[in-house]
């Protein structure tokens, strides 16, 4: 037990801690170790810096841009103008500042990416934990088959069908992405759970009379959590790309301006034929930056938590 | 043993197909508006044709009966009629298959060849300048939305430079070599977009399996025997490292349709993808249903082929 704690800790301090305190102490230590490996990875730190910048932009977007600036009926600029003074990135065909659209878009795109991921990871982790914990039983077979089905079905076509049926609202877009992107998480969590459940401490908890639900949530989940977290970070990248694809196909919510919606509106306004590059290019670059940042952070975390994968860098 | 392995894989494929058929049926029944009402919306369908469809698919029957009729009709190749054009969905689809196969087949092939070669070289000389360069470009391409990349290429190469047409399949209905050149000119940008969009994943998969294989004992043995580096790479490392990429290539072929939707939309390429885009805008549900069925069927088939081929290439997996 004591070997898990950093050296030099006075033993009496540890002795006076409650089990809960001990558990949190251990989690804090392991977070510290992860952070120090993460910090030494240049790719990961680049990604993190990009994410912090866009995160702050999204957080403070209501202070930077007023609602009126992106309201098509209130726009004041000249339509389809290349960058001029006052409009550093030019305007769209309503005369809205493209820079203002991008700032508002950062908020919507990140919200969609993060909430869809939350949904996907919740479904995936639940399915994976239950399936892995009851590995080999009938429940496992049913859940694994379901996971395999969702891995096999062309997700984009399923997403299109669902989005077309449900209708283009922001909530539906989030729902559709969550429903179509949980399967990878489920498969990874199941594999991890299968190996964790045979560890002695899980057996001990069972011997002490813990229920299955309590073992899964208190003993297996904390152990599997790092893997879930790394997978979640990678899923955000996929979710943001999916949102873009759905938006370009006209399945996004036209009233919530995401980066994907900006691209779609530029596309439909003939930005390509007319050469409105200032309108078309920036939202794509934002998507690339954020997707790349999440991917680089996710790869780094995956490498730290799952050493067998230490080969991507 | 081998027969049992193949039978098990076939069984799984059939089960998956049944799942897709069921999903297809029920998804389109939970949406607002009943199927008869949706069909009746069509202006192209005569009252007699409408009655015939209702009768054929048992739309006035209770749900379980409808389900069985749907399965029977679908399996015998009847996919219903398009709400917009009033023609048979299966005929509409058939006319669109060739352009998509041409576009995505070519794009996947180019991406696979370049990706596998770059992955072999990068993985073998890990951390070299070439490896870093190809890995970072792969990650960058992976993070790029395909549709946006296509639009960018259109602005630069079709708009500013005027080298290529802005979209479509062919400009004039010539024949022979002239027509071939015409189609090729239209094909260039969409194929380039697809190839750029796919190449990253091929590089990453091939590279990481090369890195794995390089650590294996039998490679060390080959070195100890005094074989030169190129021979070891070509005859010892690549054949084993290629397996995961092989699976990825076969599966990509199955994803042909899914991959084509955005690119065909951007380039107005008249394949299944553009048909899907039009069906979304027109809410032409029978067409969407058929697209989902066909694209899932292609992936299931590709999976089956990959599984069986894998069983031959790597006999160890049969025991799993």
Q: Which residues on chain B are in Cβ contact (under 8 Å) with A288?
A: 140, 143-145
pLDDT of residue A12: 55
Quick check: B209 contacting A, CB < 8 Å? no
pLDDT of residue B32: 62
| Best residue of A180, A183, A272, A309 to probe chain B, by most B CBs closer than 10 Å | A272
Report angle CA A189, A193, A194 to the nearest 5 degrees.
120
In this predicted complex, what is the ipTM? 0.84
Q: Which helix (H) or strand (E) holds A27?
A: helix A19-39
Q: Which residues on chain B are in Cβ contact (under 8 Å) with A280?
A: 148, 151-152, 155
What does each C-alpha distance from A163 to B23, B146, B239 come to in angstroms? Answer: 14, 19, 43
Q: From the list B27, B152, B295, which residue is nearest A154 (CB)?
A: B295
Q: From the list B142, B291, B300, which residue is nearest A157 (CB)?
A: B291
Cα-Cα-Cα-Cα dihedral sign, residues B292, B294, B300, B302: negative
* Count of beta carbons in the 10 Å neighbourhood of residue B30: 8
Cβ contact B148–A277 (<8 Å): no
pLDDT of residue B29: 76
Q: Which residues on chain B are in Cβ contact (under 8 Å) with A267?
A: 147, 151, 266
Q: Which residues on chain B are in Cβ contact (under 8 Å) with A248?
A: 145, 147-148, 262, 265-266
Residues near B241 by beta carbon (within 8 Å), at least 6 away in sequence = B120, B123, B206, B209, B210, B212, B213
Q: What is the pTM of this model?
A: 0.86
Average pLDDT along chain B: 83
pLDDT of residue A183: 93
Q: How many angstroms away from the CA of B121 is the closest CA of chain A?
A: 15
Cross-strand pairs, A97: A91
Cβ contact B208–A311 (<8 Å): yes
Cβ contact A280–B155 (<8 Å): yes
Place of tokens 């949904």: A119
d(CA B38, CA B166): 35
What does each C-alpha distance from A307 to A27, A72, A300, A311 come to in angstroms? Answer: 19, 51, 10, 9
Q: Which residue of B has its CA nearest to A292?
A: B143
Quick check: B281 contacting A, CB < 8 Å? yes
pLDDT of residue A5: 46
Q: Among A209, A197, A180, which residue's Cα sits nearest to residue A140?
A: A197
DSSP for chain B, written as a single string: -HHHHHHHHHHHHHHHHHHHHHHHHHHHHHSSS-HHHHHHH-SSS-HHHHHHHHHHTTTTS-HHHHHHHHHHHHHTT---B-TTT-SBHHHHHHHHHHHHHHHHHHHHHHHHHHHHHHHHHHHHTTTSHHHHHHHHHHHHHHTS-HHHHHHHHIIIIIIIS--S-SSSS-SS---HHHHHHHHHHHHHHHHHHHHHHHHHHHHHHHHHHHHHHHTSHHHHHHHHTT--HHHIIIIIIHHHHHHHHHHHHHHHHHTHHHHHHHHHHHHT-TTHHHHHHHHHHHT-HHHHHHHHHHHHHHHHHHHHHHHHHHHHH-GGGGG-
Average pLDDT over residues B193-217: 90
pLDDT of residue A136: 87
Average pLDDT over residues B303-316: 81
**Per-window interface: B 150-189 vs A, CB < 8 A:** 151-152, 154-155, 158-160, 166
d(CA B24, CA A283): 34
Q: Which residue of A has its CA nearest to B212?
A: A311
Q: From the list B147, B257, B288, which residue is nearest A154 (CB)?
A: B257
d(CA A93, CA A72): 9
Average pLDDT over residues B128-142: 91
Per-residue pLDDT of chain A (313 residues), as tens digits, is 444 545 445 555 666 788 888 888 888 888 888 888 888 888 889 999 999 999 999 999 888 887 777 777 777 777 777 887 777 888 887 878 889 899 999 999 999 999 999 999 999 999 999 999 998 899 999 999 899 888 888 888 888 888 888 888 999 999 999 999 999 999 999 999 998 888 899 889 988 988 999 999 988 998 899 889 999 999 999 999 999 999 999 898 888 899 999 999 998 888 777 878 888 899 999 999 999 999 999 988 988 887 665 444 4
Q: For residue range B91-123, what is the model confidence (pLDDT) as tens digits?
A: 888 888 888 988 998 999 999 999 999 999 998
**Per-window interface: B 214-243 vs A, CB < 8 A:** none
Quick check: B107 contacting A, CB < 8 Å? no
| Best residue of B22, B142, B147, B189 to probe chain A, by most A CBs closer than 10 Å | B147
Residues near B70 by beta carbon (within 8 Å), at least 6 away in sequence = B21, B25, B57
d(CA A97, CA A279): 9
Q: Which two tokens stand for residue B16?
A: 């998956």
Axis-axis angle for helices A183-196, A221-248 (nearest 10): 170
| Best residue of B22, B23, B32, B143 to probe chain A, by most A CBs closer than 10 Å | B143
pLDDT of residue A236: 95
Do residues A175 and A246 touch, judged by C-beta distance below 8 A? Answer: no
Q: Among B252, B255, B290, B281, which residue's Cα sits nearest to residue B96?
A: B290
Q: Which residues of A touch B (CB under 8 A)?
A: 145, 148-149, 152-158, 160-162, 164-166, 237, 241, 244-245, 248-251, 260, 263, 266-267, 271-273, 275, 277, 280-281, 283-284, 287-288, 291-292, 295-296, 311-312
Q: Which residues on chain B are in Cβ contact (under 8 Å) with A311?
A: 208, 211-212
10 Å CB burial of residue B48 (0-12, 13-18, 19+) is exposed
Residues near A145 by beta carbon (within 8 Å), at least 6 away in sequence = B15
pLDDT of residue B187: 87
Q: Which residues on chain B are in Cβ contact (under 8 Å) with A148?
A: 16
Q: Which residue of A has its CA nearest to B153?
A: A272
Cβ contact B145–A273 (<8 Å): no
Number of inter-chain CB pairs under 8 A, A vs B: 134
pLDDT of residue A261: 93
* Count of beta carbons in the 10 Å neighbourhood of residue A76: 12
Q: How many angstroms away from the CA of B61 is the closest CA of chain A?
A: 22
Q: Which residues on chain B are in Cβ contact (under 8 Å) with A251?
A: 280
Q: For residue range B230-246, what is the model confidence (pLDDT) as tens digits?
A: 888 888 888 888 888 88
d(CA A297, CA A306): 14
Q: For residue range B41-95, what is the model confidence (pLDDT) as tens digits?
A: 666 677 777 777 777 777 777 778 888 888 888 888 787 777 777 788 888 888 8
């Amino acid at each position: 037990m004591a070997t898990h704690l950093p050296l030099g800790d006075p033993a009496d301090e540890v002795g006076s801690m409650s089990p809960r305190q001990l558990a949190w102490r251990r989690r804090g230590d392991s977070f510290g170790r992860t952070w120090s490996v993460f910090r030494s990875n240049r790719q990961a730190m680049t990604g993190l810096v990009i994410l912090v910048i866009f995160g702050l932009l999204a957080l403070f977007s209501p202070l930077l841009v007023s609602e009126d600036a992106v309201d098509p009926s209130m726009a004041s600029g000249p339509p389809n103008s290349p960058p001029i003074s006052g409009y550093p990135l030019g305007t769209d065909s309503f005369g809205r500042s493209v820079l203002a659209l991008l700032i508002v878009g950062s908020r919507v795109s990140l919200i969609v990416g993060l909430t869809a991921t939350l949904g996907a990871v919740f479904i995936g982790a639940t399915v994976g934990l239950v399936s892995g914990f009851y590995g080999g039983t009938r429940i496992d077979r049913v859940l694994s088959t379901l996971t395999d089905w969702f891995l096999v079905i062309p997700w984009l076509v399923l997403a299109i069908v669902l989005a077309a049926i449900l209708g283009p609202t922001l909530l539906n877009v989030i729902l559709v992405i969550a429903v179509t992107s949980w399967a990878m998480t489920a498969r990874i969590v199941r594999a991890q759970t299968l190996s964790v459940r045979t560890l002695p401490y899980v057996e001990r908890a069972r011997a002490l009379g813990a229920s299955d639900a309590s073992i899964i949530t208190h003993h297996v989940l904390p152990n599997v959590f790092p893997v879930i977290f790394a997978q979640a970070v990678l899923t955000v990248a996929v979710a943001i790309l999916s949102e873009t694809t759905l938006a370009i196909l006209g399945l996004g919510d036209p009233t919530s301006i995401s980066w994907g919606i900006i691209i779609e509106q530029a596309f439909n306004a003939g930005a390509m034929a007319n050469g409105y590059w200032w309108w078309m290019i920036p939202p794509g670059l934002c998507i690339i930056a954020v997707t790349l940042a999440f991917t680089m952070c996710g790869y780094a975390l995956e490498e730290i938590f799952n050493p067998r994968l230490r080969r991507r860098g | 043993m081998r027969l049992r392995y193949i039978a098990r894989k076939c069984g799984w494929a059939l089960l998956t197909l049944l799942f897709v058929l069921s999903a297809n049926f029920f998804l389109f029944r939970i949406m607002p508006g009943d199927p008869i009402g949706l069909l009746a919306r069509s202006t192209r369908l005569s009252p007699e044709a409408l009655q015939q469809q209702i009768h054929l698919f048992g739309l006035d029957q209770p749900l379980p009966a409808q389900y069985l009729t749907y399965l029977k009709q679908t399996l015998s190749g009847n996919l219903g009629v398009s709400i917009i054009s009033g023609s048979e969905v299966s005929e509409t689809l058939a006319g669109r298959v060739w352009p998509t196969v041409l576009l995505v087949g070519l794009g996947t092939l180019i991406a696979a060849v370049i990706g596998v070669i770059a992955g072999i070289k990068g993985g073998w000389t890990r951390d070299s300048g070439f490896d870093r360069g190809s890995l970072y470009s792969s990650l960058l391409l992976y993070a790029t939305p395909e549709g946006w990349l296509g639009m960018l290429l259109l602005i630069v190469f079709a708009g500013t430079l005027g080298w290529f047409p802005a979209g479509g399949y062919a400009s004039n209905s010539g024949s022979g070599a002239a027509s071939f050149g015409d189609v090729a000119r239209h094909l260039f940008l969409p194929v380039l977009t697809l190839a750029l969009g796919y190449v990253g994943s091929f590089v990453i998969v091939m590279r990481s399996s090369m890195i794995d294989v390089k650590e294996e004992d039998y490679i060390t043995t080959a070195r100890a025997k005094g074989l030169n580096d190129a021979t070891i790479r070509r005859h010892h490392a690549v054949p084993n490292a290629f397996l995961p990429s092989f699976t990825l290539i076969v599966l990509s072929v199955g994803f042909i349709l899914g991959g084509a939707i955005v690119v065909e939309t951007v380039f107005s390429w008249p394949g299944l993808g553009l048909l899907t885009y039009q069906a979304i805008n027109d809410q032409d549900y029978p067409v969407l249903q058929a697209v989902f069925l066909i694209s899932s069927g292609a992936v299931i088939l590709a999976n089956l082929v990959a599984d069986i081929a894998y069983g031959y290439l790597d006999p160890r997996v049969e025991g799993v």
